[in-house]
Amino acid sequence: MTWFDAPADAATRLATAGYLADAATATTTYLAGALEKPLLLEGPAGVGKTELAKAVSRATGAELVRLQCYEGLDEARALYEWNYKKQLLRIQAANAGDSGVDWDATHDDIFSEEFLLTRPLLTAIRREEPTVLLIDEVDKTDIEVEGLLLEVLSDFQVTIPELGTVAATRRPFVVLTSNASRELSEAVKRRCLYLHIDYPDAERERQILQQQVPGLDDRIAEQLVTTVGRLRELELKKAPSIAESVDWARTLIALEIRDLDAKAITDTLGAVLKHQSDHERAVKELKLARS
């Protein structure tokens, strides 16, 4: 299966799935499908990295398999695990029956499909249907985990000592996301296409807002995008992301605010800025009256 026919095709189909991609995103997404290489997305939190993976799955009708990374994630959670409890039961059951069940048979028996618990990576590799594999926040894992990703990312296969190598029958569309809280290893990066997603330009952000928040009129969308753009230029601890401007738009609608003037901004600033010092900075720079 080809994922997308051309960059333009990627852009339109992603748009239909509710994701407005800029040119670079569309091109890179298309390439990831065409070259069958994993796609590493980096960028500030909340600019739609995870969303892109979901949109690819919606646009192509593929199922999304998600591996959420965290500190302490290990092989057993990422790849596969043997069901120890069930294996023990089997051994005990074999012993209880006593008789002449020899060890070799039991041994072969307990390392079979039946006792294998597949985790996201193996699941994605083994699926016959089109699959989007999302490895989310890969920078949160320990360095060791990158090692086990390598085999999956370059050869799309997983080696299980007891069963042998499981290779993908159909290569999944792999998306890795990272907030760059640590540098990923060269080895992982070499296997991936790389795309840095940044805050969208004003025009695209306005479109995103209007798509995500029905009932948002043009004028207020314009004002909102300008203000958010302004906030991003300040030296803030956490600059507002797309997710936050969408939240803000929803807040404004809920409060039935029709005009984003200084007072309205001050009242609702909590929806966009999440640090006290950022608030103070914004109030000072935008010359808002202190509430």
Partner 1 sequence: MSTERSDASGLLERHLAFVEALRGAGLSVSLAEDIDSLAALGAVRWGNRAMVRDAFAATMVKKQAQRTTFDALFDVYFPAMVGNGAGAEEGDEAGDGPVRDNASALVDFRDRLAEALEASQVDEAELRRMAAEMVGVFGAMPGRGPGLSSWSAYTALQRVAPQELVDRLVAGLMGEGADEEDARRRANRRIGSFTAMVEDDARRRIAEEKGPDHVAEVAVRPSIDKLAFMAARRGDLEEMRKEIFPLARRLATRLAKEQHSRHARTAPLDFRRTVRASIATGGVPITTHHRPKRPHRTDLVVLCDVSGSVANFAQFTLLFVFALREVFQSMRAFTFIDHVHEVTGHFRPGADPVDVLTDLAAATSHAALWGRTNYGRAFTKFEENHLDALTSKTTLLILGDARSNYSDLHEDALRRLTGSVKRTFWLNPEHERNWGTGDSAAPAYGEIVRMIECRNLNQLSEFVHDLAW
Bridging pattern class, strands 63-68 and 173-178: unpaired
Report the Cα 173 to chain-centroid distance in Å: 12
CB nearer to partner 1: pick between 136 and 278: 278
CB of 235 to partner 1, least distance (A): 5
CB nearer to partner 1: pick between 91 and 253: 91
Count of alpha carbons within 13 Å of 131, Cβ hemisphere only?
A: 24
Query: Under 8 Å CB-to-CB from 35, ≥6 apart: which residues?
Result: 193
- Total residue length of the chain: 291
CB nearer to partner 1: pick between 65 and 265: 265
CB of 215 to partner 1, least distance (A): 25
Tokens representing 30? 């298309």
**CA dist 239 → 13, 45, 94, 100, 272 (Å):** 30, 9, 61, 69, 8
Contact residues toward partner 1 (CB under 8 A) are 7, 23-24, 27-28, 30-31, 34-35, 37, 40, 42-43, 71, 84-85, 88, 142-144, 180-183, 186, 189-190, 192-196, 226, 230, 233, 235, 237, 275-278, 280-281, 287
CB nearer to partner 1: pick between 35 and 105: 35
CB of 266 to partner 1, least distance (A): 17
Under 8 Å between Cβ of 78 and 153:
no
CB of 147 to partner 1, least distance (A): 13
Alpha helices in 73-138 (DSSP H): 75-78, 84-96, 103-110, 120-126
Helix and strand tally (H, E) in the chain? Answer: 14, 9
CB nearer to partner 1: pick between 50 and 223: 223
**Separation of alpha carbons 229 and 29, rounded Å:** 26
By three-state DSSP, how is residue 133 classified?
A: strand
CB of 32 to partner 1, least distance (A): 8
CB nearer to partner 1: pick between 58 and 196: 196
CB of 250 to partner 1, least distance (A): 25
